[in-house]
Amino acid sequence: MSLEEREARQPVLLLTPAITAVGLLLVVPLGFILVYSFWLRTATGADQAGFFLDNWREALSDPFYRDILLNTLKIAAVTTIVCALTGYPAAYFIARSRGNKALLLLLLMLPFWISYIIRTMSWINILGASGAVNSGLMALGLISEPLPMLYNEATVVLGLVHFLLPFMVLNVFVSLDGIDATLEDAACSLGATRWRSFLEVTLPLSLPGLAAGGLLCFVLAAGTYITPIVLGGPSDAMFANLVFEAIITQLDWPMGSALSLMLLAVLGALVLLYNHFLGMAQLMKGLS
């Protein structure tokens, strides 16, 4: 084999393990789900194989599903905005601190060592009827009855921000860390205040990181089902809860499959739109 041929083969060889894993663990199961979505669950509980559009018709026409989908997108959007507003300053602080960046990044990753579910449930001990906040306020005599703080949309957003903030901080940090700090000095020497030089130079150059972090937060938030179960009230169900409900509780695999593909399609369309307006190359630049 000639050198050129070997070199031409190399990328394929290097990609093979990843392609195999993605194929077997993602594409093939997705194919099963797609097939399932056209089956039908009969009244007896058994699945009937075939090509039925009933599940899709119900999922696409019932306003119940549409409202929950819109609510899901709204919660994901609010979560993303809160993550951006709180994560950006933190990322800026880490990127500009001298010497102990590695330690600060380690601290940022620390929450990942604890299970996401445990972290989510910890809010019950803080905001619950006998949680830290209520006990404290009652001990101080400020209130006589525990305040109902849990199980609403705000606590769902709170839990999601708690979960997703490190993703945002990391993405923004990477892009801020790649910006030459002398650019701000140069802007200041030309007459810009620190704040103006941030707005003119640092912020636009860090947008790819902010965009990447935002996309990640939005997609992860929109696909979550644990946070609404643990911290949400009965009316705060998100779309993934419907999938969970259909498949685990009702054992209606065909309907669950159709719903999960619907969510996948919506999020996929959003990613494509995002890609169209911001350019995946920009995101990649922010990540590299």
Partner 1 sequence: MGAVSLTNIVKNFGSFTAVQRMSLDIPEGAFVSLLGPSGCGKTTTLRMIAGLLDPSEGDITIAGRRVNDVPIHKRNLGLVFQNYALFPHKTIAENVAFGLKFRGVSRDDRERRVREALELVQLPDVGSRYPGQLSGGQQQRIALARAIVIEPDVLLLDEPLSALDANLREDMRVELKRIQQRVGITTVFVTHDQSEALALSDHIVVMSKGRVEQTGAPEDVYTTPATEFVARFLGASNILEATCLTVDGDGVTVEGPAVGRLTLPRERAPHVSGPGPVKLAVRAEKLKLERPDAADTSAAGDLVLDGLVETVDYQGLAARYFLRVGDVQLQAINMIDSHPFAEGERVSLRLRPRDCTLLAGSTQ
Contact 208, 283 (CB under 8 A): yes
Q: Does 277 bind partner 1 (CB under 8 A)?
A: no
What is the Cα 4 distance to its own chain's centre?
A: 43
Helix (H, G, I), strand (E, B) or coil at 48: strand
Q: Does 193 bind partner 1 (CB under 8 A)?
A: yes
Q: Does 186 bind partner 1 (CB under 8 A)?
A: yes
Q: Does 180 bind partner 1 (CB under 8 A)?
A: yes
At 16, the amino acid letter reads: T
Stretch that binds partner 1, among 14-22, 50-58, 189-197, 222-230 (CB under 8 A): 189-197
Q: CA 154 to CA 279: how far, in whole Å?
A: 32
User: Among all chains, which residue has been given the structure tokens 């393990």?
Assistant: 17
Q: Does 169 bind partner 1 (CB under 8 A)?
A: no
Stretch that binds partner 1, among 27-35, 115-123, 159-167, 199-207 (CB under 8 A): 199-207
At 24, the amino acid letter reads: L
Stretch that binds partner 1, among 23-31, 109-117, 197-205, 226-234 (CB under 8 A): 197-205
Instruction: Tokens for 32, please give them.
Output: 């099963």
Q: How far is the CB of 107 from partner 1 (least distance, A)?
A: 25
Nearer to partner 1, 63 or 99 (CB): 99
Residue from 106, 76, 105, 109 nearest 91 by CA: 105
Q: According to CB under 8 A, which one of 201, 216, 219, 246 is a site residue for partner 1?
A: 201
Nearer to partner 1, 182 or 249 (CB): 182
β-sheet bridge partners, residue 40: 48
CA-based diameter of the chain, in Å? Answer: 84
Q: CA 261 to CA 64: how far, in whole Å?
A: 17
At 227, the amino acid letter reads: T
x/- track of binding to partner 1 for residues 90-119 (CB under 8 A): ------------------------------
Q: According to CB under 8 A, which one of 192, 266, 271, 280 is a site residue for partner 1?
A: 192
Measured in degrees and rounded to the nearest 5, phi and psi for residue 41 equal -90, 125
User: Among all chains, which residue has been given the structure tokens 């590299």?
Assistant: 288
Contact 149, 143 (CB under 8 A): no
Q: Considering only residues 203-232, where is the footprint of partner 1 by CB under 8 A?
A: 204-205
Total number of residues that touch partner 1 (CB under 8 A): 19
Q: How far is the CB of 211 from partner 1 (least distance, A)?
A: 14
Q: According to CB under 8 A, which one of 3, 13, 43, 190 is a site residue for partner 1?
A: 190
Stretch that binds partner 1, among 5-13, 102-110, 119-127, 178-186 (CB under 8 A): 178-186
Q: According to CB under 8 A, which one of 11, 45, 191, 234 is a site residue for partner 1?
A: 191
Q: CA 173 to CA 107: how far, in whole Å?
A: 14
Q: Does 182 bind partner 1 (CB under 8 A)?
A: yes
Q: Which stretches of the chain are assigned E, i.e. beta strand?
A: 40-41, 47-48
Nearer to partner 1, 51 or 195 (CB): 195
Measured in degrees and rounded to the nearest 5, phi and psi for residue 62 equal -75, 120
Which positions touch partner 1 (CB under 8 A)?
A: 180, 182-183, 185-194, 196-197, 200-201, 204-205
